Structure 1
């Protein structure tokens, strides 16, 4: 059991380090990193615990994919981030990946705020958020004048490699006991 957990965690950290590097340097998380890790997670969990391990791994995979699907569909993150979360879930299960998603969202918010402050775009971003809330709560998303204020050009769009937030989420989940290094 100890070897299983250590091996799964080693695969997780190895995949995370590669993904973190490629996301920072190339702004891309490759399938050759995430898909083998997800498959290995499913196989190892099945070998370690049989059908319950397989179920846990598949539920983790689906949970990891599901939690970032909406942000991906809205253009807030790339497909590699979604697949990375799926692989994390396949390796560690649904509870761990859900914790990672929550901690990653907090870390992502902090990093995004820092990027906006650094790029001196915080004021413009806050105005867009205010306009979005006005449109959302007034039920007037059909007002073209206000909708135009929400459109952002590529030059004004701040982004960062989200693998940074995911790495922070994983480290936080381990630190608070979301997934022991040892059983």
Structure 2
């Protein structure tokens, strides 16, 4: 049951983050509440601690990147909701996969911005660019961003289907 709710939360968050660059509180807060309520109802105090610890760990994992301006508050709350629904161990695996996927997406976007594909089209262009360091200039005025909810969604799906690394 909770994995169905998790799937719905991820789907809605993925769509709204891609379309509007927002992860909605109306999705994340009820998910946190459902996780806390369900585990408390079924396991009592231990269940509350299980879900609450997952919520706090999920929140803490993305708090520093948020405070440094690297992501939005919705991303932090989404990982906290994942923690509340699944517990500490799962949210740690989810975070691990999210970081890997987010890093790959970021690297692809940086390579796209640098027009890295030109280096493979022409050996002459590659040599010329390397000699003049052309193509390695960044426009410092524009920030490279992408909806991190995409990485969180795929990272969580990897944690669900692949599981932990042993």
TM-score normalized by structure 1? Answer: 0.75
The equivalent of 1:56 in structure 2 is: 50
Query: Does structure 1 residue 26 correspond to structure 2 residue 20?
Result: yes
Aligned counterpart, 1:116: 110
Residue ranges of structure 2 left out of the alignment (5+ in a row): 117-135
- Counting only pairs closer than 5 Å after superposition, residues 7-22 of structure 1 correspond to structure 2 as 7-22=1-16
Q: Which residue of 1 aligns with 2:146?
A: 160
How big is the shift at 1:121?
6.9
Q: Is the 8 A contact 2:93 2:163 kept in 1?
A: no
State how far apart, in whole Å, the 1-side matches of 2:155 and 2:79 are. Answer: 11
Greater Rg by CA:
2
Distance 1:85 1:124 in 2: 34
Residue of structure 2 in register with 1:74 after alignment: 68
> Structure 1 residue 96 and structure 2 residue 96: aligned?
no
Q: Could you tell me whether the CA contact under 8 Å between 2:39 and 2:48 is conserved in 1?
A: yes
The yes-or-no answer on 1:84 pairing with 2:81 is: no
Bigger Cα displacement from structure 2, 168-177 vs 101-110:
168-177
Shift of 1:66: 0.1
TM-score by structure 2 length?
0.82
Segments of 5+ residues of structure 1 without an aligned counterpart are 1-6, 126-150, 179-183
Distance 1:57 1:121, change over 3 A: farther
Change (3 A) 1:95 1:124: farther
Determine the C-alpha separation between the residues in 2 that align with 1:86 and 1:17.
16
- Describe the shift of the 1:124–1:84 C-alpha distance in structure 2 as closer, same or farther (beyond 3 A): farther
Is 81-90 or 111-120 further displaced after alignment? 111-120
How big is each residue's C-alpha offset from its partner over 1:139-181, in whole Å with a ceiling of 9 and x where there is no partner?
xxxxxxxxxxxx942x2x1111101110111111112235xxx
Q: How far has the Cα of 1:48 moved from its partner?
A: 1.8
Corresponding residue for residue 174 of structure 1 = 160
CA RMSD of aligned residues (A): 1.6
| Separation of aligned partners in 2, 1:8 and 1:169 | 17
The 1-side partners of 2:40 and 2:82 are apart by 15
In the TM superposition, 1:32-51 aligns within 5 A as 32-51=26-45
CA distance, structure 2, for counterparts of residue 109 and residue 124 of structure 1: 20
